[in-house]
Structure 1
């Protein structure tokens, strides 16, 4: 298949490149509006108890569970004429909006509801709140909240108006993520291009991966926009899948272009070098992409739209990156030929420094060969020390605490964050963190509800309970005559709290509230209940997702290598690398180290969605380098005498031939991911820094130290497989062929490596017919 696609691209290269350019323009144009069609969260599902509780209130008591909070502040206090006038203007504008219901405020309740008005006024008397509910689907709510924020947010004659609440928070996140994407790509693309020039020397060679990367970005935008027409797609997918597409496209192009230049240097002509590159590096790219795509596909087992959007979009983006690499690059390379090495910037630099051309060095004299040889001489101590260091780095993960994100994921410049900080610090009860107890179908005595409310108010940390019978604070009835909260389909109670809903104390308070005997079936909603229900829903699916990824990886690597030992080794090394990465992320983002340097607020918990997403991505990317390294080691092994010494030399040669390439690839991928980490949204920082650390540690500590040490310790056992499985692999395993034909060599006295020598010995025939295959394991 790969040979056929490469020949197709080489036969009509201009048509292929023009078609790719047109497709890139169409996808880019179609995907230009994708942001306005994405959702800010995607963390919830309709089956959760807390979601059903909130839906009940929305359907039966419009405005009873506000998602928009407007804070009006002034130095003169909430009762000063200027603050009151501004509050009345905001209240009137919200009341006149057909998409807003349930508008109430400190000022509207001051005369008739002094108890509720007190809850809506800050402790110092300088801030007052306006509560409302923005109606519509998740996407409509966020877009409408963004429009409201644009109209209301600002300073007016010394009076500050800030828009927050859940709707305002997601509107701010959406806007910031869109801005951050532009900045990240503005950093990643030129820096990657510069680094590629340093890696290749040639400007032309460096531009090829960049071009494929730009195609991947445009394709990603089009894919995401297409997905929004059939499902909810998380706004976080905008940055993450764009970064993934760019990073993988550059990665895969780097592998292919490097192999092509190597084959040219080994004496193959242009077409034979392209075919050989596609069949070796291209085969590795396809296999690596398949591993990454299947790791991402495992996210589909989670019910949340957040994960599903990454599963579907991630698979499509990986497919686009792989397809562009194995189809567009052969078309470009056949047009360029040996001009791929043109504009070599190293030559003028050497002339300027007065240095001549470097003399070619044997492979045994290279840094990577000497490093790996030294590692394998001390294989056991190196393996023990490296594993111990990675486990120590991962130890903070044992003390991890997870929660769902709130307004603190964004910087203090955002109005929703300012409102959230004020609610947590300056008000007796955090109106954004209130719990709700819903009794659907309740038609009993209102006194029973009052007694239930009184018991709820006695739970530690509860500021007040609002029911149809009155307002209760610490067990005392404060006032009566509150709005009707008992309807034909049931009733609900609003429970104000002083405790952060995502903290361990918030979880304990929710358990205490649920333990209070209710006068009927009860559903709990609100921030703490949403957090607990969501965590339970996600955690229950983790074993299934992890099991699928492990099984898929073991099967694919067996098909790739014919060994049952190497897949297990790869799985264990990946887990070790990811453990260290997650431990570092807990240390930084949960425990708050480096928070001032990186510009985020530690909340004492970590967003559970990000580690799961990072695990799937990092696992796939780690396999990317594993497959690339094993491919070259296996090439050397297949041409050897299959003895213990041959195993050691194959590992050394494989690392020596690929070390510089996968280290450069890891550096380039880290640049793209760290560009994402410049975001002002904390989960994006976590995503970028965490994955960059995972990629770099995997390409250095794992591939440079642990993998060679373990392969030396296992010796020829690396390639062992039971006879039935060995026979199965011979029938269905993935093998590669060497398309070297008569007349391909351009210089008879050119130095050949072991693989090329064997290919020369076996190649024969005319017209490019493939006549030999590498032997099976």
Structure 2
């Protein structure tokens, strides 16, 4: 493989105008396709195989008014005014009438007719059911909803919203995190290379890769449902991986130039050596992301595939476009900055790192770890173990309005509903009876549901032909484990609930859907981990031709991700970061663990490949395994440090948003990357390899005969074929 990559790098360098033109043409085609197709990402969310999804599908067929998204409209008065006062009641009734005339609205529930007025007559609760799924409700419809509530607002009635879809429910996507991440990445690269051109090249190539990916995804969105979050994850990984892969190859190229190698040979050698690590690192990330498809939830599958395409694009650009751009840059990548008062300092640092890596701080750290390998191993494992302890209290769920900031309408609605009707009214269940006949069956089933332990009230809210919809209000909130128990209890006793009617009862609605999603994700987690870890183990075994290196890599990943989960639970679930991050303590979002496992596993394998490939490269030149660990780690430390800090900065930048879910995701990813890079890959890995010595490279004799050597470290390029 090293020879193939060497020739590819030299070819791209020689044919740089052709390569650059090809990539620019691809970018133009991608942009034109996105604009021409009119594709747009959406927020259509389905969970095949769950009862809540079957309930939704049934309602779409037989009772479309209840088959889509829903909103609760909360009316509140203050001071001495009551919602039942003549002026306020008339305004609320007029508002509900207008809401019934809004396009895509299938049914409305007037709070006075439904007797949904709080005992103190200060809060009234109306509901709006849409005929379309939340992701397919038009913005113009939500604008009409806002206009329809003006009579109530004009009568000094506070109006707030909650539910699965309502005005302002979509999280505004800001470009600020990406911009902040790019600025910080530029600073890190400038410090790493000490040259403006060298710092700019990885960023420019990574941005081009992200542009092509996002435009391609947008074009495909014209024919396939693609969740809006997919582009956010693709951008996050496309930028970070694109910069990291470019950094790794450019760093080798720059060191080759400083050692006196000619430009074309230098690029070829960089791609032939560092490029091999990039290929295996990228393939590991791609495997982890594609592994999201085993969960069986379409939006996660699409998210993983979009992110995998972004990583694949980053790899392709690093292996082809980057060598071409380096051909244009020439010697400018070693044209160093001159700092006031310290002339020549940046050049001295760079030349020392290239020619005398044993004098760098990374080398000092590597020698320290090798010398004190047992204490380093024990301290590192102890640190990660302590950080992981809170993960034993991990609680999964989809955050409700209670997790939102008080400036959010959903949070204000949640608080008003809780005060007026009890916390359970924030998450009503839809009990659907298919095959019920007449009001008698509807009332009988509603009474049975209302008599179940944990139900405050149950009443029919819609019927058509042989389908009846009953709204059941639990005692507990939407994210309380007792509510999940209630859903399962009703499902387990459905025959009793429908006794004498011949109807088949199912439980759906937003709350039940969230419970089903969390259960499905929890059940899929072990299978996902087994598939992804198994495939990655095979890939890394092939790359390094040993069983112990992949095993060590996977154990290190499990330690770092457990510690990241622990930090997440402490900060966001226990509330240690409540004031620091401006969040409300709540359960961990249910799809975070599986996404985090995929992404952090992929990125941790990146750093594993970068570090171990350099150790293996040095090991091939010396009979001293511990010296190979120290020198190899020293050679990789600078670039891995820069790569990890870039990843960390991009993830942290996403915490600048106001959405608590995005904050939690950004925090978990940032902590996971930081711990994995510095504690695991630059501390535990060299410590374990120094302890194991040459045994770390052991493989059975048959393995060496059967499995080909990919030459990931590029030993065969010492005398490359020209």
Give the TM-score of the pair, scaled to structure 2: 0.91
Pick aligned residue for 1:298 from 291, 301, 304: 291
Partner of 1:508: 485
Q: Is the 8 A contact 2:399 2:589 kept in 1?
A: yes
User: Structure 1 residue 420 and structure 2 residue 414: aligned?
Assistant: yes
Q: Which of 17-26 and 605-614 deviates more?
A: 17-26
User: Structure 1 residue 769 and structure 2 residue 715: aligned?
Assistant: no
Pick aligned residue for 1:383 from 368, 371, 377: 377
Pick aligned residue for 2:14 from 5, 8, 11: 11
Q: C-alpha separation between the residues in 1 aligned to 2:35 and 2:668?
A: 28
Q: Is the 8 A contact 2:39 2:223 kept in 1?
A: no
Within a 5 Å distance, the mapping from 1:423-442 to structure 2 comes to 423-428=417-422, 430-442=424-436
- Structure 1 residues 624 and 670: CA distance shift in structure 2, 3 A: same
Q: Is the 8 A contact 2:44 2:225 kept in 1?
A: no
CA deviations over 1:488-521 (Å, ceiling 9, x no partner): 3333322122311221121233344345512243
CA deviations over 1:393-422 (Å, ceiling 9, x no partner): 111111211112333454333323322332
CA positional deviation for 1:533 = 2.3
Q: C-alpha separation between the residues in 1 aligned to 2:485 and 2:72?
A: 26
CA positional deviation for 1:237 = 1.9
Q: Is the 8 A contact 1:622 1:698 kept in 2?
A: yes
Partner of 1:693: 671
Q: C-alpha separation between the residues in 2 aligned to 1:688 and 1:34?
A: 32
How many residues were matched structurally? Answer: 705
Pick aligned residue for 2:211 from 208, 211, 218: 218
CA positional deviation for 1:249 = 0.9
- Structure 1 residues 428 and 138: CA distance shift in structure 2, 3 A: closer
Q: Is the 8 A contact 1:429 1:463 kept in 2?
A: no
- Structure 1 residues 551 and 734: CA distance shift in structure 2, 3 A: farther
Pick aligned residue for 1:710 from 688, 708, 711: 688
CA deviations over 1:713-734 (Å, ceiling 9, x no partner): 11111100001111123x3544
Pick aligned residue for 2:516 from 502, 516, 533: 533
Q: C-alpha separation between the residues in 2 aligned to 1:409 and 1:30?
A: 39
- Structure 1 residues 441 and 174: CA distance shift in structure 2, 3 A: same
Within a 5 Å distance, the mapping from 1:378-527 to structure 2 comes to 378-408=372-402, 410-428=404-422, 430-443=424-437, 447=440, 449-467=442-460, 485=462, 487-516=464-493, 517-518=496-497, 519=499, 520-527=503-510
User: Structure 1 residue 127 and structure 2 residue 138: aligned?
Assistant: no
Name the Cα RMSD after superposition. Answer: 2.8
Q: Is the 8 A contact 2:231 2:306 kept in 1?
A: no
Partner of 1:93: 98
Q: C-alpha separation between the residues in 2 aligned to 1:255 and 1:486?
A: 63
Pick aligned residue for 1:720 from 678, 698, 701: 698
Pick aligned residue for 2:590 from 605, 608, 614: 608
Secondary structure of 1:540's aligned partner:
helix
Query: In terms of Rg, which structure is larger?
Result: 1
Q: Is the 8 A contact 2:614 2:713 kept in 1?
A: no
CA positional deviation for 1:319 = 0.8
Q: C-alpha separation between the residues in 2 aligned to 1:142 and 1:533?
A: 26
CA positional deviation for 1:287 = 1.3
Q: Is the 8 A contact 1:433 1:496 kept in 2?
A: yes
Give the TM-score of the pair, scaled to structure 1: 0.85
CA deviations over 1:237-274 (Å, ceiling 9, x no partner): 23222111111111111111111111111121100000
CA positional deviation for 1:426 = 2.6
Q: C-alpha separation between the residues in 1 aligned to 2:243 and 2:476?
A: 47
Q: C-alpha separation between the residues in 2 aligned to 1:431 and 1:555?
A: 51
Q: C-alpha separation between the residues in 1 aligned to 2:381 and 2:37?
A: 44
- Structure 1 residues 697 and 153: CA distance shift in structure 2, 3 A: farther
Partner of 1:587: 570
CA positional deviation for 1:587 = 1.2
